[in-house]
């Protein structure tokens, strides 16, 4: 194979490795790397025995193809930054929530509420959210709690619904994702159980919190650690 580079000259290429991907059209479950071996009959190279792709191989491939993440300064609120996953946290604050007028939440529509500190994550352009019991930057071993909101499942994934999804994921646009989440209208519960510990459930909790300044951490339902939830390596 030959390829023309920018200055117009031709550079020779040869097959040195081949990667085979196995799985379904929706998800790759196995990748193997193979070395080419000469065909004794003079035909195209034959792929040798495959070995599982290692992290070192992927890192080298990324460097050689100049596809590494560019070096950049990450603000303190960013927790994880990679090609496939970005996670950040936001301190507790007061902000409004909006509810669909055809739901029982219409009595809460547009009111101001205190919210717990939150962890947001975007993976494959899908948003997830969890709550924190402490108003401080979490560590990998911090326990994440269920986000006490409609349109959000027990595993943190968000039903985008009417949410205006931002088109980019950059350090400067992360706030747009959280704002979009709260600017959309909450329409239904995605939980198979009560997403909070208030004696009167979700609507009773937010009814009691309307106009207040602080979200009681006792209302939160704890789950797994941040490391386990985001499937981070040690």
**Residue 7's pLDDT is what?**
46
Look-up: residue for tokens 């029982």? 104
Q: Residue 176: which residues within 8 A CB-CB, separation 6 or more?
A: 166
pTM above 0.85, yes or no: no
**Residue 42's pLDDT is what?**
82
Q: Residue 30: which residues within 8 A CB-CB, separation 6 or more?
A: 21, 22, 23, 52
What is the residue-level pLDDT of the chain in tens, covering all 234 positions? Answer: 555 555 455 566 788 888 898 888 777 888 899 988 888 888 888 888 888 888 788 777 777 776 555 667 788 999 999 878 999 999 999 999 999 999 999 999 999 999 999 999 999 889 999 999 999 999 999 999 999 999 999 899 999 988 888 888 888 899 999 999 999 999 998 877 788 999 999 999 999 999 999 999 999 999 999 999 999 876
Distance CA 234, CA 85 (A): 16
**Residue 83's pLDDT is what?**
79
Q: Residue 98: which residues within 8 A CB-CB, separation 6 or more?
A: 109, 110, 182, 183, 184, 185, 186
Structure token pair of residue 98: 């909006």
């Amino acid at each position: 194979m030959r390829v023309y580079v920018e200055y117009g000259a031709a550079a020779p290429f040869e097959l040195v490795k081949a990667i085979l991907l196995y799985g379904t059209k929706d998800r790759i479950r196995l990748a193997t790397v193979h070395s080419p071996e000469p065909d004794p009959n003079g035909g195209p190279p034959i792929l040798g025995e495959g070995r599982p792709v290692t992290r070192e191989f992927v890192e080298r491939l990324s460097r050689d193809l100049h596809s590494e993440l560019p070096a950049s300064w990450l603000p303190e609120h960013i927790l994880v930054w990679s090609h496939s996953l970005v996670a950040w946290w936001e301190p507790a604050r007061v902000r409004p929530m909006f509810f669909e007028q055809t739901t029982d939440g219409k009595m809460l529509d547009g009111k101001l509420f205190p919210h717990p500190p939150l962890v947001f994550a975007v993976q494959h352009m899908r948003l997830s959210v969890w709550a924190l019991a402490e108003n401080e930057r979490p560590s990998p071993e911090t326990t994440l709690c269920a986000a006490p909101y409609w349109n959000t499942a027990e595993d943190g994934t968000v039903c985008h619904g009417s949410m205006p999804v931002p088109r980019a994921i950059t350090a400067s646009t992360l706030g747009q994702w959280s704002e979009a989440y709260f600017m959309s209208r909450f329409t239904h519960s995605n939980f198979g159980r009560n997403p909070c510990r208030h004696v009167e459930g979700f609507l009773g909790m937010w009814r009691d919190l309307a106009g207040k300044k602080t979200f009681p951490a006792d209302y939160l339902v704890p789950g797994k650690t941040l490391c386990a939830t985001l499937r981070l390596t040690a």
